[in-house]
Amino acid sequence: MVVTTPSKYKVFLKDYLSFGQKRELQKLIFSKLKIKPSADSEGVRRTEIEEFSVDFMQDIQDKAFNMLIEKIEIEGKEYTDNLFELVMSWNEKDGQSVFTEIDKITAIFGASELTEVTADSKKKTRAV
């Protein structure tokens, strides 16, 4: 898969995570959550997330970047080393275009569906 940024940089990346990579990212997510199982008065099971810090989402993106990005081509020159640092030096639109694609790939394993957190909410309860 190739992503072309607004500045016409070509980013070559895998379009999937291996099962092992997916589990590695899930482990990172689960290590950051504190949950409390409970049941309501009608016996419906619920899971309450007691603590949830969204900063680990950047950790997941950074780890996924290294799993997915294979090479970058800029004006015909190919780069295969220090790709994370290279993308971090780009303007926001170019860098964000890469991470938008990474988010699409990593969303398939449910990280984005795990919970919905808003700026004014520290915990969310959802039925399981």
Bridging pattern class, strands 45-51 and 34-39: antiparallel
pLDDT at 41: 78
Distance, CA of 121 to CA of 118 (rounded, Å): 5
Work out the number of other CB atoms within 10 angstroms of the CB of residue 83.
19
Q: Are 15 and 2 in contact (CB under 8 A)?
A: no
Q: Residue 125: which of 46, 68, 58, 55 has the closest Cα?
A: 46
pLDDT at 37: 77
pLDDT at 120: 35
pLDDT at 108: 52
- Show pLDDT as tens, one digit a residue, over the chain (128 residues): 999 999 999 999 999 999 999 999 988 888 877 777 777 778 777 777 666 667 778 888 899 999 999 999 999 999 999 999 999 999 999 999 999 999 898 875 544 444 333 333 344 433 33
pLDDT at 51: 65
pLDDT at 68: 97
